[in-house]
């Protein structure tokens, strides 16, 4: 029998049965095998796809090596982000401090790789040995004439969300340092896309067809010089709201740039993401282009989508992902395929997010914050789902029980955003749910 830990009881909610407010935004319970990582992870995942910057992890080797080239974030040019740089601290450095090692590492790396900026990630131990990372960064920046930005990502200083915030603060230091004179009036920044499997290229193409200029996609196929002039854009379009809303708010306050929240997953949300931008600018041409685009794209994929829907009708699914906005999109996308979500959870959802999920979820759905493998295995078995959507850490939970799985995390190599992404998603779900291998599964 798998029991829910006492301190987690308010983080597990059964719609139609429970009436409390879901408890969230708190540290993971000690001894619970949380699927979350740490502050460092939050910063690292957000900044990672900036491909012409040098990302160096200041600490012992582990944190750098576990995050080496693990994401599907593609670049159309430089690929500096796919290398792993670490100061690889040893006992001596811990005893005597490692500022000199960091300094020398940075100088050597900058001379060799000639990056357009450096991000220096502090790991747990830097917070304890007291290196003045800020001062080292400033010194190197002055000597090498490129931005060298400290990221305050000590693992223990909060949750993954605090890491997102540290990444936003690091980006904010770059924004506004370049000239935005050439930015036009129908211009946007895309926040919170990471160009997994080339998704940003799909999205950018849509905006281009609408007549919208993308100034910077920040972290999707990211470039330092684009980020520097991001303050010139007239609107911030925030996807993956969990990680980048902080930056959008900071930019609104300093540069007066309004922001909207969107999702590129599923047909409805994708179409809305385009329409919302078109409506913001209120230009007749753009609106017309958008309508045309949406119609074309939907017509292109619907026949195939309908084929999959017929096959998948009535199957049940569970979702456990990082951000809540994505979870909601996935519930809708699954509905489009005739599937109902009966378990849904996130690592970093907040109170508003969970209220939104409660609204859209069916009666009897289990809604869960910061779950662990034992709970998740219990829910997916009890609810008898045919599909779990999650990341690498969730995959064996599904597979060991003989349940289909779709990877919707940063490691995936399939593009799932955009209209074409919806079709890829449908194919992937179909391919796992209807595989003949389940015939041999012993689970009753």
Show the tokens assigned to 17.
């049965």
- Assess 84 for contact with other proteins (CB under 8 A): yes
Among 11, 12, 13, 36, contact with other proteins (rule: CB under 8 A): 36
Q: Which is nearer to other proteins, 101 or 408 (CB)?
A: 101
Size of the site for other proteins (CB under 8 A): 79
Judged by CB under 8 A, the stretch of 80-88, 216-224, 231-239, 299-307 that binds other proteins is: 80-88
Show the tokens assigned to 265.
């997953």
Q: Which is nearer to other proteins, 107 or 260 (CB)?
A: 107
Rounded (10°) angle between helices 324-336 and 418-433: 70
Among 144, 393, 412, 427, contact with other proteins (rule: CB under 8 A): 393
Q: What are φ and ψ of residue 371, in 5° steps?
A: -80, 180
Rg of the chain on CA atoms, in Å: 22
**Residue 370: HSE in the Cβ half-sphere, 13 Å Cα cutoff:** 27
- Assess 127 for contact with other proteins (CB under 8 A): yes
Q: What are φ and ψ of residue 300, in 5° steps?
A: -60, -40
Q: Report the C-alpha gap between 203 and 220 in whole angstroms.
A: 10
The string of DSSP codes covering 367-428 is: EEES--HHHHHHHHHHTT-SEEEE-TTTHHHHHHTT-EEEE-STT--S--SHHHHHHHHHHH
Among 159, 195, 289, 371, contact with other proteins (rule: CB under 8 A): 159
Show the tokens assigned to 318.
């569970």
Q: Which is nearer to other proteins, 3 or 138 (CB)?
A: 3
Among 309, 395, 412, 427, contact with other proteins (rule: CB under 8 A): 395
Among 19, 20, 77, 91, contact with other proteins (rule: CB under 8 A): 91
Site string for other proteins, 402-441 (x = CB under 8 A): x-------------------------------------xx
Question: Shortest approach of other proteins to residue 182 CB, angstroms?
Answer: 36
Q: Which is nearer to other proteins, 79 or 352 (CB)?
A: 79
- Assess 65 for contact with other proteins (CB under 8 A): yes
Starting at the edge strand found earlier in the chain, the sheet holding 259-261 runs 213-216, 187-191, 235-238, 259-261
- Assess 135 for contact with other proteins (CB under 8 A): no
Q: Report the C-alpha gap between 87 and 65 in whole angstroms.
A: 11
Q: Which is nearer to other proteins, 98 or 429 (CB)?
A: 98
Q: Which is nearer to other proteins, 299 or 441 (CB)?
A: 441
Show the tokens assigned to 38.
């740490």
Among 22, 109, 190, 202, contact with other proteins (rule: CB under 8 A): 109
Among 18, 23, 78, 124, contact with other proteins (rule: CB under 8 A): 124
């Amino acid at each position: 029998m798998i029991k829910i830990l006492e301190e987690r009881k308010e983080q597990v909610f059964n719609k139609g049965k429970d009436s409390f407010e879901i408890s969230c935004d708190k540290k993971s319970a000690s001894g619970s095998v949380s699927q979350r990582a740490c502050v460092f992870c939050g910063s690292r995942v957000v900044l990672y796809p900036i491909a012409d910057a040098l990302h160096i992890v200041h600490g012992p080797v582990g944190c750098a090596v576990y995050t080496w080239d693990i994401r599907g974030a593609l670049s159309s040019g430089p690929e500096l982000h796919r290398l792993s740089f670490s100061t690889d601290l040893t006992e001596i450095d811990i005893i005597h401090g490692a500022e000199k090692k960091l300094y020398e590492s940075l100088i050597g790396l900058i001379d060799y790789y000639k990056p357009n900026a450096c991000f220096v990630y502090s790991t747990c131990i830097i917070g304890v040995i007291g290196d003045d990372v800020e001062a080292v960064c400033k010194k190197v920046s002055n000597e090498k004439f490129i931005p060298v930005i400290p990221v305050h990502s000590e693992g223990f200083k909060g949750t993954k969300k605090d890491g997102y915030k540290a990444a936003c603060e690091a980006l904010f230091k770059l924004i506004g340092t370049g000239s935005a004179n050439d930015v036009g009036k129908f211009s946007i920044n895309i926040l919170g896309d990471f160009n997994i499997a080339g998704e940003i290229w799909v999205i950018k193409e849509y905006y281009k067809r609408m007549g919208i200029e993308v100034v910077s996609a920040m972290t999707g196929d990211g470039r330092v010089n684009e980020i520097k002039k991001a303050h010139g854009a007239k609107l911030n379009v925030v996807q993956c709201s969990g990680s980048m809303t902080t930056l959008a708010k900071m930019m609104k306050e300093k540069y007066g740039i309004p922001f909207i929240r969107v999702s590129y997953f599923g047909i409805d949300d994708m179409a809305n993401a385009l329409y919302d931008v078109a409506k913001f600018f209120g230009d007749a041409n753009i609106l017309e282009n958008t309508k045309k685009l949406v119609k074309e794209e939907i017509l292109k994929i619907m026949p195939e989508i309908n084929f999959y829907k017929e096959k998948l009708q009535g199957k049940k699914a569970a979702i456990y992902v990082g951000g809540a906005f994505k979870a909601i999109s996935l519930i809708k996308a699954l509905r489009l395929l005739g599937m109902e979500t009966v378990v849904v959870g996130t690592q970093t959802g907040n109170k508003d997010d969970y209220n939104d999920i409660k609204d859209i979820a069916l009666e009897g759905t289990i809604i869960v914050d910061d779950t662990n493998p034992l709970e998740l295995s219990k829910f997916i078995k009890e609810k008898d789902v045919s599909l779990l959507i999650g990341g690498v850490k969730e995959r064996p939970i599904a597979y060991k029980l003989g349940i289909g799985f779709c990877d919707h995390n940063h490691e995936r190599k399939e593009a799932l955003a955009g209209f074409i992404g919806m079709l890829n998603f449908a194919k992937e779900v179909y391919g796992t749910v209807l595989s003949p291998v389940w015939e041999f599964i012993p689970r009753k």
